A and B are shown apart, each in its own frame.
Chain A
Amino acid sequence: MKILGLIIAVLTGTLLIYTTSDFPSWGDPSSPASTHLSPHYIEKTLEETSVPNIVTAVLADYRGYDTMFETTVIFGAGVACFFLLRVPRRKEPVERLYRHTLTGMTLRIKDLDEVPENLDEFERIDTLWAPYDLIIKTVCRLLIPFIQLFALYVIAHGHHSPGGGFQGGVILGASFILLAVSYDLRTAKERLREKLGGILCAVGVLIYAGTGALCLLLGLNFLDYSALASILHVDPITARSHGILIVEIGVGLAVMATMIWIYDNISSEGKYEEGL
């Protein structure tokens, strides 16, 4: 069976390589891919959308409908993860570790019925992995604000430089995950509750799809941002550029919240008690 698989894989590979002989040569300026659609984008983008970054214009405006659904794919992945992994809280005896903050002594408490939440002299620690990590915690605490600031910059500057909602959203999400890794999951969850995160996921995509629907209500086609001109009090071309910014913000929110959501569900096996 293994040999059969190998033969099929080799045959398919050979076929694919063989057929590439009809491809235009690498980087050929007269290849169909560079002569058919690209010239229009390169020459007309600034004039039609007032966005200097052609990639962003193609991504979020010319083919903005694709991008809306790419964001929806991410949202769908988050929902599917939650749907499959999240386990509802069960009433069962828990085992917890607490560390006395002054002496560093750890206590293991089994079969706890009433769980104390906030104790003055004790901090709750994870059962599997809870060393002192002062350096990591301090460095992360210092770094996270700058990471988030940079993420906001990446989202907002998608028009002019490489970047945009997806990249910025991932950086924002990563900052929260860094908090969860360097402290623990509970600290991160105190900053962004599960419910708020779940709602933000949907709200992010809703900003994108809602902008599209708003254009439709204003009398133009779905996602035709130039319809926003009457609301934003700018000319239709500039409205396209603003429209792109709005949807990029939506993408950023959705991607950030979904990243965190998926991380939480996988790392805590859906229990949200402790993880990684």
Chain B
Amino acid sequence: MSSQYPALLVATPLLAALFISIAGWVYKKLCFPIAVVALSVATYASIGLLLRVLNEGVVHYRLGGWEPPWGIAYYVDHLNGLVLVVVCVVALLNLIGAKKSIDQDFPDKIGPFYTLYILMVTGLLGIVITGDAFNLYVLLEIAALTGYGLLAMGDKRAALSTLNYLYMGTIGACFYLLGVGYLYIVTGSLNMADIARILPPLYESKAVLAAFIICMVGVWLKMAFFPLHAWLPNAYTHAPSASSGLIAPLVTKVMIYVMIRLIFTVFTPEYAFNTLALSNAFVWLAAIAIVMGALFALAERNLKKMFSYIIISEVGYMVGGIWLGNRAGMTGAVLHILNDALMTLCLFLVASNIVYKIQGHSFDDLKGIFRKMPVTMGALVVGALSIIGVPPTCGFFSKWYLISGAVQAGQYGFVAALLFSSLVNVVLFFRVLEIAFFEPFGDHDGHGHTESIDEAPLSMLVPLLIVALGLVIVGVYTGDIVNLVIQFAIPREIL
């Protein structure tokens, strides 16, 4: 059975989404249990797969039994083995944590919501696991399309901001597809490993250069890399909590994985770092992204929007870390995919609990909330410490790797940007905590029910506490994660 883990990982959520859709018409109460079971099976399979990769090395899986490059194949190494586990765990925790808010937000449309949710997870898993450049695009479509559906059902302004996202996301996906088309014209293949094998004699070709740039820009658009970020803050802020809790931690991180995969497996590090002399410019771009994200966040008076700008800043961390081109920087970037997914999940689960009880997410709504929701806000403190980078939370360690990588590469601008954003994060979170802790509770302009506000229900608190605890545990075991997994995820030729 363990040889079928790769297929199970994608097929189980897909089949579950279809069964949920049918259950939505026939017997609505089944939707949630099917979703939980499917994601649990996927989590189990992803962990099994990662263990297999740790023991045996790269795992290949041929779909339909066809040999690549004629058929489509999965390709799982340490890098996507880790990301697969992250996607499954985050999606499962958010699903359980979001049940109450889903019941509150869409009582009539539970079936389609869970269908889209699980389909989106299927899409993300498919993007991460595949070893075929075109197949990646197909799954990208699924993840994007379901994402638009999930985000657009939020408050009044959600539809417009999602339409904005739809335009930008579609352009990004088209760019990626165009790049793959260019690659196909010059290599005649769609399999990533096969393309990498054919490319070396073509390194000087203008078409390959164009393919690389188009793919990168497309992926950057999708991950909201500054200055292509404008769609993200509004789309995530106005979305329903259950959707933003899935999409905010995962979509940007998965797209960063795609960028790393393109560099490592399709174009090869040799081409990306040696043939092209662009790394310096990209690291500077990342430094600007970090600073701008931090400044935008500083200007916000709304909790979810502030979190969204923090994501933009964090995207800069990871893009910069990869383009530093050395082992420490890349270790930091890959580790940060794991850490940032958990940190963002923590923040958005906190926001979800607050929205569930108070129906608002501006700073004014947070007044005195510490006394009413101590556990939720306690988790926010842990999340904040991790984003700021205080040991022993995990955020410290990835930032440490990134900074030491930047020093090795002599990129002091990037170091300065990292330190600057850490300081800004201190200000950001202490401002929030100050409002929540010291301002008197009350005056929730018209939201009503102020007396009855208390701690969020247990089913929302437990996933949040698991995540908050996870931030510390991942931090403590960073050494093991790096030595056992991430070390092997980075190509050997990079020192």
Do the beta carbons of B109 and A83 come within 8 Å of each other? yes
Question: Does B22 belong to the interface (CB within 8 Å)?
Answer: yes
Interface residue total, chain B, C-beta cutoff 8 A: 59
What would 20 A/B residue contacts be, using CB atoms closer than 8 Å? A20-B207, A22-B208, A36-B187, A36-B198, A65-B72, A69-B138, A69-B139, A72-B122, A73-B138, A73-B141, A80-B145, A80-B149, A83-B149, A201-B21, A203-B22, A206-B18, A209-B15, A209-B18, A221-B7, A223-B64
Out of B25, B64, B185, B187, which one reaches A199, CB within 8 Å?
B25
Question: Does A52 belong to the interface (CB within 8 Å)?
Answer: no
Closest Cβ–Cβ distance, residue B437 to chain A (whole Å): 39
Do the beta carbons of B109 and A63 come within 8 Å of each other? no
- Bound together, the chains give a CA A18 to CA B63 distance in angstroms of 38
Find chain B residues with CB under 8 A from A224 CB.
63-65
Find chain A residues with CB under 8 A from B152 CB.
84
Out of B24, B149, B184, which one reaches A76, CB within 8 Å?
B149
Q: Which residue of A lies closest to B210 (CB)?
A: A19
- Bound together, the chains give a CA A224 to CA B205 distance in angstroms of 38
| Dominant secondary structure of chain B at its interface with chain A | helix
- Bound together, the chains give a CA A251 to CA B209 distance in angstroms of 38
Closest Cβ–Cβ distance, residue A9 to chain B (whole Å): 12
Question: Does B167 belong to the interface (CB within 8 Å)?
Answer: no
Out of A72, A86, A226, which one reaches B142, CB within 8 Å?
A72
Find chain B residues with CB under 8 A from A223 CB.
63-64
- Bound together, the chains give a CA A86 to CA B113 distance in angstroms of 13
Out of B14, B153, B207, which one reaches A84, CB within 8 Å?
B153
- Knowing A83-B153, A84-B149 touch, does A72 contact B119 (C-beta < 8 A)? yes
Do the beta carbons of A73 and B145 come within 8 Å of each other? yes
Find chain B residues with CB under 8 A from A73 CB.
138, 141-142, 145
Question: Does B285 belong to the interface (CB within 8 Å)?
Answer: no
Closest Cβ–Cβ distance, residue B195 to chain A (whole Å): 10
Q: Which residue of A lies closest to B130 (CB)?
A: A65
- Bound together, the chains give a CA A77 to CA B211 distance in angstroms of 29
Binary interface encoding of chain A residues 126-138 relative to chain B, with 1 for a CB under 8 A from any of its CBs, else 0:
0000000000000
Question: Does A183 belong to the interface (CB within 8 Å)?
Answer: no
Do the beta carbons of B70 and A62 come within 8 Å of each other? yes
Question: Does B374 belong to the interface (CB within 8 Å)?
Answer: no
Do the beta carbons of A69 and B126 come within 8 Å of each other? yes
Q: Which residue of A lies closest to B12 (CB)?
A: A213
Q: Which residue of A lies closest to B217 (CB)?
A: A12
Binary interface encoding of chain A residues 32-56 relative to chain B, with 1 for a CB under 8 A from any of its CBs, else 0:
1111111011000000000000000
Question: Does A70 belong to the interface (CB within 8 Å)?
Answer: yes
Q: Which residue of B lies closest to A15 (CB)?
A: B210
Question: Does A156 belong to the interface (CB within 8 Å)?
Answer: no
Find chain A residues with CB under 8 A from B270 CB.
none
Do the beta carbons of A41 and B138 come within 8 Å of each other? no
Near A by CB (< 8 A), chain B positions 48-92 give 61-66, 69-72
Do the beta carbons of A35 and B21 come within 8 Å of each other? no
Question: Does B108 belong to the interface (CB within 8 Å)?
Answer: yes
- Bound together, the chains give a CA A104 to CA B346 distance in angstroms of 65
Near B by CB (< 8 A), chain A positions 155-190 give none
Find chain B residues with CB under 8 A from A213 CB.
11, 15
Binary interface encoding of chain A residues 78-114 relative to chain B, with 1 for a CB under 8 A from any of its CBs, else 0:
0110111010100000000000000000000000000
Question: Does A31 belong to the interface (CB within 8 Å)?
Answer: yes
Find chain A residues with CB under 8 A from B4 CB.
216, 221-222
Question: Does B349 belong to the interface (CB within 8 Å)?
Answer: no
Question: Does B186 belong to the interface (CB within 8 Å)?
Answer: yes
Find chain A residues with CB under 8 A from B24 CB.
198
Question: Does B101 belong to the interface (CB within 8 Å)?
Answer: no
- Bound together, the chains give a CA A198 to CA B111 distance in angstroms of 11
- Bound together, the chains give a CA A18 to CA B182 distance in angstroms of 13
Do the beta carbons of A210 and B15 come within 8 Å of each other? yes
Closest Cβ–Cβ distance, residue B127 to chain A (whole Å): 11
Find chain A residues with CB under 8 A from B146 CB.
76, 79-80
- Bound together, the chains give a CA A201 to CA B152 distance in angstroms of 22
Q: Which residue of A lies closest to B134 (CB)?
A: A66
Question: Does B32 belong to the interface (CB within 8 Å)?
Answer: no
- Bound together, the chains give a CA A31 to CA B207 distance in angstroms of 14
Q: Which residue of B lies closest to A84 (CB)?
A: B152
- Bound together, the chains give a CA A221 to CA B7 distance in angstroms of 8
Residue numbers of B with Cβ under 8 A of A are: 4, 7-8, 11, 14-15, 18-19, 21-22, 24-26, 61-66, 69-72, 108-109, 112-113, 115-116, 119, 122, 126, 134-135, 138-139, 141-142, 145-146, 148-149, 152-153, 159, 182, 184-189, 198, 205-210
Do the beta carbons of B64 and A61 come within 8 Å of each other? yes
Find chain B residues with CB under 8 A from A16 CB.
210
Task: Please give 4 more A-B residue pairs, beta carbons under 8 A apart, in addition to A31-B188, A79-B112, A82-B112.
Answer: A66-B135, A213-B11, A221-B65, A223-B63
Out of A32, A201, A225, which one reaches B186, CB within 8 Å?
A32
Closest Cβ–Cβ distance, residue A269 to chain B (whole Å): 14
Do the beta carbons of A221 and B61 come within 8 Å of each other? yes
Q: Which residue of A lies closest to B138 (CB)?
A: A69
- Bound together, the chains give a CA A201 to CA B112 distance in angstroms of 12
- Bound together, the chains give a CA A77 to CA B182 distance in angstroms of 28
Question: Does A24 belong to the interface (CB within 8 Å)?
Answer: yes
Do the beta carbons of A226 and B18 come within 8 Å of each other? no
- Bound together, the chains give a CA A206 to CA B17 distance in angstroms of 10
Q: Which residue of B lies closest to A64 (CB)?
A: B64
Closest Cβ–Cβ distance, residue B128 to chain A (whole Å): 14
Find chain A residues with CB under 8 A from B148 CB.
80
Q: Which of A16, A18, A32, A76 has the most CB of B within 10 A?
A: A76
Out of A33, A36, A77, A222, which one reaches B64, CB within 8 Å?
A222
Do the beta carbons of B21 and A222 come within 8 Å of each other? no
Closest Cβ–Cβ distance, residue B222 to chain A (whole Å): 16
Question: Does A252 belong to the interface (CB within 8 Å)?
Answer: no
Find chain B residues with CB under 8 A from A220 CB.
65
Do the beta carbons of A63 and B206 come within 8 Å of each other? no
Find chain B residues with CB under 8 A from A154 CB.
none
Do the beta carbons of B25 and A32 come within 8 Å of each other? no
Please list the 10 inter-chain residue pairs (A to B) with the smallest Cβ-Cβ separation, ordered nearest first: A80-B149, A36-B188, A32-B188, A19-B210, A224-B65, A222-B7, A83-B112, A202-B21, A22-B207, A65-B63
Do the beta carbons of B70 and A37 come within 8 Å of each other? yes
Find chain B residues with CB under 8 A from A80 CB.
112, 116, 145-146, 148-149
Find chain B residues with CB under 8 A from A15 CB.
210
Find chain A residues with CB under 8 A from B14 CB.
72, 209
Do the beta carbons of B11 and A216 come within 8 Å of each other? yes
Out of A61, A86, A221, which one reaches B62, CB within 8 Å?
A221
Q: Which of A24, A37, A222 has the most CB of B within 10 A?
A: A222
Closest Cβ–Cβ distance, residue A266 to chain B (whole Å): 14
- Bound together, the chains give a CA A132 to CA B136 distance in angstroms of 51
- Bound together, the chains give a CA A73 to CA B170 distance in angstroms of 14
Closest Cβ–Cβ distance, residue B424 to chain A (whole Å): 29
Do the beta carbons of A225 and B64 come within 8 Å of each other? yes
- Bound together, the chains give a CA A241 to CA B22 distance in angstroms of 29
Closest Cβ–Cβ distance, residue A63 to chain B (whole Å): 6
